[in-house]
Chain A
Amino acid sequence: MLKEIKQAVVDGDMDGVIKLTNEATSQGLGAQQILDEALMPAMDIVGEEYAKGDRYIPEMLLSATVMRGAVAVLKPLLVNAKVKARGKVVIGTVARDLHNIGKDLVAMMLEGAGFEVIDLGIDVTAGEFLKAAKEHSPHILAMSALLTTTMIYMPEVIDAIRGAGLRDQLKVIIGGAPVTQGYADKIGADGYAADAASAAKLAKSLV
């Protein structure tokens, strides 16, 4: 049953996943187990296939939507069982950068990996990142930039976080086309990931 649910998410089969998830819960499978052993591994597969170039953006979006459908079925059970998110992530594309696709994919993979994700959108200033960090106390702050002209705003955000005395309370991870591990080291970020699947792995390793 878990295997079938996993396959339905990978295949982007919404009707199938809803039906199977309902069946699984009525047969007594736990919501947490379905999440951990079917839904999240499905998103891992999808993310890895995307990273390899075997899967395209719309296919990934569909799988994420299907996964959300299954989570919606499980939600009442998860709430009852007081299942906690793996951690909280505040994510956004930095100031003056309007690129959303990569950031959205990372947000999706993080959700798929069990994180609560607060998406600040695009063109997010250092002040806005800081405000969200104060308001949500995330475990991780994730920044994306697609341009060399905008990735320079990443250290500004880190400075703002440090200035507010919050630097030790959260991990900073960054990514985007021009960003490298070297750049992450240079600006004092806690991690860099090259694609959405590795971003989710990185986030898991940091909490």
Chain B
Amino acid sequence: MFLVVGELINSGRSEIAQALKERNEVLIRRLARAQAEAGGHVIDLNAEQSMENEVRDLQWLIGVVEDELSEDVRLAIDTSNPVAMEAGLKACSTPPVINSISNEKTNAGLIELAAESGAEVIGLAMGEHGMPKTADDRVEETRTLLEKCDRVGLDHGRLYVDMVCMSVGSAPQQGTQVLQAVRRARQELGIKTLTAVSNVSFGLPNRRLLNRTFLAMLVEAGLDGTIMDPTDKAMMDTLYASRALVGLDNYCLQYIKKQKERGTR
């Protein structure tokens, strides 16, 4: 299965920061439902920009979204703050995806929390030496992260390593480097990879076109999941089409089903 993590409920977006301030339950419910119905398996919840109110806002988000969605849609707690992560884990009725651990020293406590929880964990291939530039950097950061996971008994099977996508608008080779890193992480380290695709298009026109084209390439390279906007229909269709084209969609059934739903033939 390819893991689709819905990115829309993020306090970095002004609409969400506002909704958190105003306790706008209607908007949060609508976004949660829209992402789940559009094919998101996991709904990411981020209240990090609320600063000192992060814990309170995160608990509120969890309450609202759990109430709105059926149990087969899971949540991801998105924070680099171990205190907020712990509170978020406690507030969820089923173990949420942990987003994210990394080699950064400031959030070292998160790895222990991740080890204790039973759910999937997103790990960032960065932090030991700052931001990764090359595929080599990303593979090395992943190795370091895996060693840390081994020390606390975090099973690699639960891990999705984010290969840290950066904009080709300011560094044109970043696309290739991420694609190589995805391939190598799979072949050399045997782990699952994921990435927040939309970073690739920052500063460029028609970002959605770049995002979905890059997603198709990443699927071919062996990517296992993405953090994205599932309500972007063309992006989801590109995902289904790519998986069918590289033989990851048995008898192309998922692709066919989606096209029937959309009434396209």
* Chain A interface residues toward B at CB < 8 A: 56-58, 61, 96, 98, 100-101, 104, 122-123, 147-149, 152, 178
Contact = CB atoms under 8 A, between A and B. Distances in A.
Interface stretch (B175-183, B188-196, B199-207): B199-207
Interface string B22-64: 0000000000000000000000000011010000000000000
Contacts, number: 41
Nearest to B164: A98
Nearest to B79: A149
Contact of B169 (A57, A98, A178): A57
Contacts of A96: 106
B130 A56 contact: no
A56 B48 contact: no
Contacts of A56: 169, 203-205
A101 B169 CA distance: 9
B93 interface: no
Nearest to B127: A98
Nearest to A148: B49
Contact of A149 (B49, B130, B203): B49
A123 B203 CA distance: 21
Interface residues of B, number: 16
Contacts of B152: none
Contacts of B169: 56-58, 101
Nearest to B11: A148
A98 B48 CA distance: 16
A58 B203 contact: yes
A100 B167 CA distance: 11
Instruction: Name A's interface SS.
Output: loop
Interface of B: 12, 48-49, 51, 106, 126, 130-131, 167, 169-170, 172, 202-205
* Contact residues of B: prevailing secondary structure: loop
Given A101-B167, A101-B203, A149-B51, 6 more contacts: A56-B169, A57-B167, A58-B169, A101-B170, A101-B202, A178-B49
Contacts of A178: 49
B78 to A, nearest CB: 13
6 contacts: A98-B126, A100-B170, A147-B49, A148-B51, A149-B49, A149-B51
B69 to A, nearest CB: 27
Contact of B170 (A104, A123, A148, A152): A104
A58 B51 contact: no
A33 B22 CA distance: 56
A205 to B, nearest CB: 27
